[in-house]
Chains A and B, each alone.
Chain A
Amino acid sequence: MTGGYGRGGPDILHDCTISVNKGEIAVIVGPNGAGKSTGMKAVFGMLNLREGSVRIAGEDITHLTPQDRVAKGMAFVPQTSNIFTSMTVEENLEMGAFLRRDDIRGTMEQVYGLFPILKDKRRQAAGELSGGQRQQVAVGRALMTQPKVLMLDEPTAGVSPIVMDELFDRIIEVARTGISILMVEQNARQALEIADKGYVLVQGRNAYTDTGEALLADPEVRRSFLGG
Chain B
Amino acid sequence: MDLLNAIVAFLNFVFVPGVAYGSQLALGALGVTLIYGILRFSNFAHGDTMAFGAMATILMTWWLQSLGVSLGPLPTALLALPVGIAATALLVLATDRMVYRFYREQKAAPVILVIVSMGVMFMMNGLVRFIIGVDDQRFADGTRFIISARDFKEMTGLREGLTIKSTAALTVVVAIIVVIALFWFLNKTRTGKSMRAFSDNEDLALLSGISPERVVAITWIIVAALATIAGTLYGLDKSFKPFTYFQLLLPIFAAAIVGGLGNPVGAIAGGFVVAFSEVTITYAWKKVAGYVLPAWEPDGLVQLLSTDYKFAVSFAILIVVLLFRPTGLFKGKAV
Minimum distance in angstroms from B215 CB to a CB of chain A: 11
Minimum distance in angstroms from A70 CB to a CB of chain B: 5
Residues in B neighbouring A75, C-beta threshold 8 A: 207
B123 at the interface (CB under 8 A from A): no
Contact B209 A81, beta carbon cutoff 8 Å: no
B42 at the interface (CB under 8 A from A): no
Q: Which residues between 181 and 205 of chain B lie within 8 Å of chain A, taking CB atoms? A: 190, 193-194, 196-197, 200-201, 203-205
Q: Given known contacts A95-B210, A99-B209, A145-B209, is B190 in contact with A86 (CB within 8 Å)?
A: no
Q: Chain B CB within 10 Å — which of A75, A81, A86, A96 has the most?
A: A86
Q: Given known contacts A94-B193, A95-B194, is B207 in contact with A87 (CB within 8 Å)?
A: no
Contact A71 B209, beta carbon cutoff 8 Å: yes
Residues in A neighbouring B203, C-beta threshold 8 A: 78, 81
Minimum distance in angstroms from B267 CB to a CB of chain A: 15
Binary interface encoding of chain B residues 194-234 relative to chain A, with 1 for a CB under 8 A from any of its CBs, else 0: 10110011011111111100000000000000000000000
Interface residues of B (CB under 8 A from A): 190, 193-194, 196-197, 200-201, 203-211
Q: Which of A71, A85, A86, A95 contacts B205 (CB 8 A)?
A: A95
**15 pairs across A/B with beta carbons < 8 Å?**
A66-B206, A67-B207, A67-B211, A70-B208, A70-B209, A82-B204, A84-B197, A84-B204, A91-B196, A91-B197, A94-B193, A95-B194, A95-B210, A98-B209, A145-B209
Q: Which of A70, A71, A81, A95 contacts B193 (CB 8 A)?
A: A95
The number of chain A residues touching the other chain, given as a range, is 20 to 34
Contact A83 B208, beta carbon cutoff 8 Å: no
A141 at the interface (CB under 8 A from B): yes
Q: Given known contacts A94-B193, A98-B190, A98-B194, is B201 in contact with A85 (CB within 8 Å)?
A: yes
Contact A86 B200, beta carbon cutoff 8 Å: yes
A76 at the interface (CB under 8 A from B): yes
Residues in A neighbouring B208, C-beta threshold 8 A: 70, 95-96, 98-99, 141, 145
Binary interface encoding of chain A residues 54-96 relative to chain B, with 1 for a CB under 8 A from any of its CBs, else 0: 0000000000001100110001101001111111000100111
